[in-house]
């Protein structure tokens, strides 16, 4: 149980294009999903909190118009990196919180490695 999938696992794109990353909870409902960014040999940096049916909450310093988040159902959240540039290259990981849990147990997706040329 508590499986989270992420698609694609890796993507290479040209500078200026947009890339969409999907995060799905496969066997549980997730009212809240989180999007993280991780640079090599560093910790996970929370970008935004995605709540089903409402606008995402972005962390300080994260551009909401650049990193568009949609959480249209209890099992799917998407992150779109708009007008990507080489500095957006990173490992993006989502996590999902089990709606049935009273504590903040989060389960992570396998991550998406984005390379912007």
Partner 1 sequence: GENVEQHPSTLSVQEGDSAVIKCTYSDSASNYFPWYKQELGKRPQLIIDIRSNVGEKKDQRIAVTLNKTAKHFSLHITETQPEDSAVYFCAASRAAGNKLTFGGGTRVLVKP
**Which residues form the interface with partner 1 (CB under 8 A)?**
4, 31-32, 34, 41-44, 46, 49, 93, 95, 97, 101-111, 113
Q: By C-beta, is 74 or 108 nearer to partner 1?
A: 108
DSSP lists the bridge partners of residue 57 as 49
Least Cβ distance, residue 60 to partner 1 (angstroms): 9
d(CA 33, CA 109): 10
d(CA 104, CA 31): 12
Q: By C-beta, is 15 or 115 nearer to partner 1?
A: 115
Least Cβ distance, residue 46 to partner 1 (angstroms): 6
Q: By C-beta, is 42 or 73 nearer to partner 1?
A: 42
Cα separations (Å) of 66 from 24, 25, 52? Answer: 21, 24, 20
């Amino acid at each position: 149980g508590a499986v989270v999938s992420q698609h694609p696992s890796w993507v290479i794109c040209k500078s200026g294009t947009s890339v969409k990353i999907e995060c799905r909870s496969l066997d549980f409902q997730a009212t809240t999903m989180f999007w993280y960014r991780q640079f090599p040999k560093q910790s996970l940096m929370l970008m935004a909190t995605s709540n089903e049916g409402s606008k995402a909450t972005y962390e300080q310093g994260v551009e909401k118009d650049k990193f568009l988040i949609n959480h249209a159902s209890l099992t799917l959240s998407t992150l779109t990196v708009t007008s990507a540039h080489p500095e957006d290259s990173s490992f993006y990981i989502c996590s999902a919180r089990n709606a049935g849990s009273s504590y903040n147990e989060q389960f992570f997706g396998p991550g998406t490695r984005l390379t912007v040329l």
